[in-house]
Structure 1
């Protein structure tokens, strides 16, 4: 009822769900717990506002939860990964964070595109969403590569 009564555009639902799932999973340190909390909330919200976004919203829930769990310093998988690699736990978290956040930012934009293209046929929606996300990720990687090259050249000089 709260979401239906708000003036929030329906196309933002997948992106917001992704962000909420990521935050909740990061704070709790568990993707599965986040699934259990959010999926029963997300399904009725989508059915009431934009039923055509249900699959995308569920995808955003799963993806955001896994991202948050992957980056969380209190996640069991993060602790086991750093222990198995024999490295400092906080160093492991801080070195994986930039890579994960880069991909998550591109996915966030992809979920906005998925919400905007919800009226298109399924193939066109998938193509627009995946295409936007992949192109954006490639652009970000090229820009970051060029910036790192400039930093290396400045350090050599």
Structure 2
């Protein structure tokens, strides 16, 4: 009888702990689901393209915009193609990003600020992946700097 009472008390306590943890997880996922500052992935990418098409029509006609859309699509759908983008397209992508950042930061629209944060986050992620040395999992620039520092310490 004593074991049964202890088992029931333990089961009730465990149930309360599990329910409390589940409700905390639901609340935290609700607060993190806001569209501000999210990367341009899947549906966000399409909504961003539509926003730029409506607000910045002259920019959409440029080659840099087409390269930007192509690279973000690769980033979302085809990592192997994304990582094999040539240096010229990377340069065009960075140019397009800088133009969009300038345009969105000078805009007075409320949506522009949200899209600006999404654009910055996505371009940061993309540039990080391009700079990453996949053999050592360090940024390429860090490796170069480390090599220079070590050689200067050894007197070479």
TM-score, length-normalised on structure 1? 0.28
More helix per residue: 1 or 2? Answer: 1
Decide which structure has the larger Cα Rg and report it: 2
